[in-house]
């Protein structure tokens, strides 16, 4: 550490940050080498963390980690873009005591991540390229469509049953939900606009899913 123009420079020092990620804020615990520095809350933006680290620890090498979860890898990519060496870890790889489980706190979580990171006790999970991640999302979506389609059909059947609506005899045995069958369902009359809105919305979703199948 050198003093230049009355400012401390952290050349050669490693700065560790354990991030407990939430959608509206982050809890970040900072360690300088083996020394705990502080835990702070901040807006969930990589740029804010970058500015803080560069202001408080100019010249240092920054390392951060957070647990895989709802945010996927978007935060990881943004931190890396800001020059922060980040890893994403499996929550199961961070040991948790009974006390931790019964008294879960953001501060406790971020402190634990920072300490494990500093001790090199964390193993990064694989972060796919953005293109591959989006391809996986497409595959998951395509696999979910048949299930969503079956669920929507059951909801429509349930709705018709609740209100005692008898399907026309000539189409009552149809099971493939053809376009002709759906058009007949669209002509069903309800006693109020509310019921008609429900069946129209359900059929609209059904038609959308059929197009995606």
Task: Say whether both 168 and 110 belong to one domain.
Answer: no
pLDDT value, residue 103: 47
pLDDT value, residue 169: 55
Question: Bridge partners of 32?
Answer: 15, 35
Task: Say whether both 136 and 74 belong to one domain.
Answer: no
Task: Say whether both 52 and 93 belong to one domain.
Answer: yes
Mean predicted confidence (pLDDT) in 10-19? 95
What's the domain range around 90? 2-118
What's the CATH code of the domain at 56? 3.30.420.10
pLDDT value, residue 52: 97
pLDDT reading at 85 higher than 90: yes
Task: Say whether both 8 and 33 belong to one domain.
Answer: yes
Q: Write down which residue in 118, 152, 186 finishes a domain.
A: 118
Cβ atoms 203, 182 nearer than 8 A: yes
In a domain, 124, yes or no: no
pLDDT digits (tens, 9 = 90+) for 156-177: 888 888 888 866 554 455 567 8
Residue 15 vs residue 174, higher pLDDT: 15
pLDDT digits (tens, 9 = 90+) for 118-151: 999 999 999 999 999 999 999 998 899 999 998 9
In a domain, 151, yes or no: yes
Mean predicted confidence (pLDDT) in 39-58? 96
Question: Bridge partners of 90?
Answer: none
Name the token pair of 125. 């999970």
In a domain, 85, yes or no: yes
Residue 105 vs residue 170, higher pLDDT: 105
Question: Bridge partners of 63?
Answer: 16, 85
Task: Say whether both 114 and 151 belong to one domain.
Answer: no
Mean predicted confidence (pLDDT) in 68-80? 93
pLDDT value, residue 80: 97
Task: State how many domains the chain has.
Answer: 2
Task: Say whether both 114 and 34 belong to one domain.
Answer: yes
Task: Say whether both 81 and 15 belong to one domain.
Answer: yes
Q: Write down which residue in 84, 118, 152 finishes a domain.
A: 118
Calpha distance 133→11 (Å, rounded): 36
Percent of the chain residues past pLDDT 90, beyond the cut: 60
Task: Say whether both 105 and 149 belong to one domain.
Answer: no
Name the token pair of 155. 């909801």
């Amino acid at each position: 550490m050198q003093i230049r123009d009355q400012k401390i420079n952290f050349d050669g020092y490693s700065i560790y940050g354990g991030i407990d990620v939430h959608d509206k804020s982050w809890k970040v615990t900072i360690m300088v080498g083996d020394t705990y520095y502080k835990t702070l809350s901040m807006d969930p933006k990589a740029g804010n963390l970058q500015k803080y680290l560069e202001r408080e620890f100019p010249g240092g090498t920054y390392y951060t980690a957070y647990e895989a979860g709802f945010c996927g890898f978007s935060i990881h990519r943004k931190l890396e873009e800001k020059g922060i060496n980040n890893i994403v870890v499996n929550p199961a790889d961070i040991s948790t005591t009974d006390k931790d489980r019964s008294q879960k706190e953001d501060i406790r979580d971020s402190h634990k991540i920072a300490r494990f990171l500093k001790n090199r006790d964390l193993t990064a999970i694989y972060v796919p390229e953005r293109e591959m991640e989006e391809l996986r999302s497409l595959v998951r979506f395509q696999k979910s469509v048949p299930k969503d389609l079956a669920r929507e059909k059951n909801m429509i059947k349930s709705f018709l049953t609740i209100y005692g609506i008898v399907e026309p005899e000539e189409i009552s045995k149809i099971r493939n939900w053809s376009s002709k069958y759906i058009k007949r369902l669209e002509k069903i009359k309800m006693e109020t606009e509310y019921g008609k809105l429900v069946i129209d919305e359900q059929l609209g979703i059904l038609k959308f899913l059929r197009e995606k199948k």
